[in-house]
Every structure is written in C-alpha cells, then in structure tokens.
Amino acid sequence: MKQYVFVIILTAAITLTLSWAVWRLSLRFKLYPGIRERDVHKTPTPRLGGIAMFLGVCAAFAVSAHHPFFSIFWADPKAVLSILAATLIIVLVGVADDLWDLDWMIKLGAQFLAAGIIAWFGELQIYTLPIGGLTVSSWVSFTLTVFSIVIVMNAVNFIDGLDGLVAGVCLIANVIFFAYSYILVRDIGANSFFNLASFIAAVLIGACVGFLPLNWSPAKLFMGDSGALMLGLLMACSAIAITGQLEPAVLDPAEFGRSQLLGAFIPILLPIVVVLLPLLDFGLAVIRRMSAGKSPFSPDRKHLHHRMLDMGHSDRDAVLIFYAWTAVVGLAVLLMYIGTQEDWPGEYLIGVAFGVVGVAACLAVTLLPSHRTPHQESLP
C-alpha cells in the first residue's frame, strides 16, 4: 500500500506545481477563450489544466518504470506504452480544441484512434465477461473495447461544466475503484493487468487531488477537454484491465463463498457505477440531441448540472450533490463486494442498506434545494 500512497503524493505534488505554472503562463500570454453561451462562469478562465495533469501522470509512470514493486506491468510494456501514446494523442487534440475549438468529427476521430491503439497494440481488451463463462470473439472484443473507451471519455467530458465537478467526481470514483482493485489483487493474486489498474487509479487520485486547489470554486484554471478526456480514457483503461481480463473460473461463487448474483455481476457493476452520473448525462444528451435532429456532440445547456442550477442549487451545492451521488452509489456496491469477501452477516445486505439510505438522502437534497431562485441563464 505504501507504494501507492507514494504514487498519489508524487502525482499530486507535480500536478499542483505544474497547474500553478500553467495558470500563470496562460494569464501572461492570454491563453484563454471567451465565454460561451452555455458556460456558467462569468470571467474568462484558462482551460489548459489538462497539460499539468498529463505531465503529472507521465511523471508517475516514469518513476514506476524504475521501481521494483511496479515491474509486474513493465515486464511486458506494450499495454503501458500504448496507454501513454493514446493519452498523448487525446491531450494534444484536447489542447487544440481548448484553444481553437475543433470540429467535433476531428475530436471523435482522434478518440477512436486512441482507443484503437490501446486495444490493438496494447492488447488491452474486453476478452471475457464474468457472466456464465462468456468469452467474446476477437473482433467483438476489439469493437467492444474501442466503443467502451470512447463512451467513457465523452461521458466524463460531458459533465465538465462546473468548478471542481469533474476533478471531484473522478477523485471519488477512483478512490472507490482503487479500493476494489486492491482488494481483488489481495484475494485473487497479483496480475500485470490488475496491478496496472490499481496503479492507474492511484495516479488519477493524485492528479485530481493536485488539480482541485486551482479548480475549486471560484476556479482559476479549468482542465479543458484535454484533462477531461484524459481522465475518461485512463478510467476506462483501468476498468477494462480488470473486468475484461477476469477469467470466469476465478469468480466461481462456490469457491469464494459468495452468491451467484454478486459473483457474476459485481466485476461489471462497480466499474460502471463509479461513472454512473457521467454515463447517465451522456446518454440523455445523445438521446436529446439526436431527437432534435442535431449531432450528438452539439453543445447545449441542458446537462444534469445545468438542470440542477435551474432548480435553484448554487454552483457549489450542485457540485457537492454530484459528489454525494458518486460516493453513495459506488460505496454501496463496494460494500456489497467486501461483504461477500469478508463473510459479513447478511453478506451484501449492508451495502444494500447503505445504498437505500444514501440514495434517499441524495434524492431529498437534490429535489429540495435550499435556494429557490432559478440560476441565471444569461451571462454578460
């Protein structure tokens, strides 16, 4: 565990330092766009924070290459190098979009290219689904992997609309996912992909912790498309490194004493629920825009965070509510998994009870905002 703590602290320190440097340079050279109609902030703010986060992530990977503890996934570096190459492509395209507002087709093409590099050259694919021993064919595996990565990237990017929202949601999601992957490695045994998943989660925790001080309301620096797409890409990779690599026999419920339902579905459920809100927002946006005859990537002001502002929540309250939803849903499923592993009384019932109470509390806070004045849509 101490190795992962070191990775988190290192990544956070480098990201924080570089975020401050990027912020100062962006102000000095006026590297920030004007305010768009759908934006919530009222002051032009630099959007190049993703550069600092990317460099912090790269520094962590560079250090891991020389640390014996992480040699398990550097022994065959194809997956790691492919992930880094794909991340570089995404960050470069994201920075270009943050500065010059690229056409959505160019961005989507870059996303499919990056996902293809990971799936093809890195051989990081969804080979199996832990449901009844289901193994998918090579082309299905490749296609499913590419689309999964692209969907998660865009889902995370779509919720990037309030100060501290993406960084905080991803921080919580990766803390939960790191706990899950760490417990899985402890129970099943070391594996290059499993350890890589834990490492990526730790790196993302550090990147989010280091970036949040400058991104918290009122934000001095935004991560932009480069940062949000990078977070989505790496989160998808860590989830696939576990879920897509699990051998169904390893999850034999009879061997581990857990129920058939949990033994089959938790490895799929948990990677999904930690990004449930981004995926929900993404799905609603695609349906809404295509129903109106528009591109699924055409911007609008109808995302979930916009709707919460219109309900009367302040910017900061809306962000905290998103945090609460992410924590409640993710922790509920994590507790269900831990309950089956530790042979708790009632196994997963503790997680279910926590989820029911937490969801009820989140619903009450969401539907009953303390400020009833609708958020102003018009911006100067």
187 is in an annotated binding site: no
Decide if 270 contacts 330 (C-beta within 8 A).
Answer: yes
Specify the DSSP element, H or E, that contains 129.
strand 128-129
Q: How far apart are CA 207 and CA 58, in angstroms?
A: 11
Is residue 225 a known part of a binding site?
A: yes
Question: Element (H or E) spanning 283, and its range?
Answer: helix 276-291
In 10 A of CB 172, how many CB atoms? 22
CA gyration radius, the chain: 20
* Cα 301 to Cα 272: distance, rounded to the nearest angstrom: 25
User: If DSSP codes are grouped into helix, strand and coil, which group holds residue 84?
Assistant: helix
64 touches 7 (CB < 8 A): yes
Please state, in angstroms and rounded to a whole number, the distance separating the CA atoms of residues 202 and 36.
34
Count CA atoms closer than 13 A to 103's CA, side-chain side.
Answer: 3
d(Cα 131, Cα 65) in Å, to the nearest integer?
A: 35
Which of 92-95's residues contact partners 24+ apart within 8 Å by CB, and which partners? 92/226, 93/225, 93/226, 93/229, 94/50, 94/224, 94/225, 94/226, 94/227, 94/228, 94/229, 94/230, 95/48, 95/50, 95/51, 95/224, 95/226
Cα–Cα dist 380/371, whole Å: 22
Dihedral through CA 235, CA 240, CA 242, CA 243, nearest 10? 120
Q: How far apart are CA 99 and CA 48, in angstroms?
A: 9
- Asked if 277 and 307 touch (Cβ cutoff 8 Å), the reply is no
Residues within the annotated binding site?
Answer: 157, 225
Residues within the annotated binding site for Mg(2+)?
Answer: 157, 225
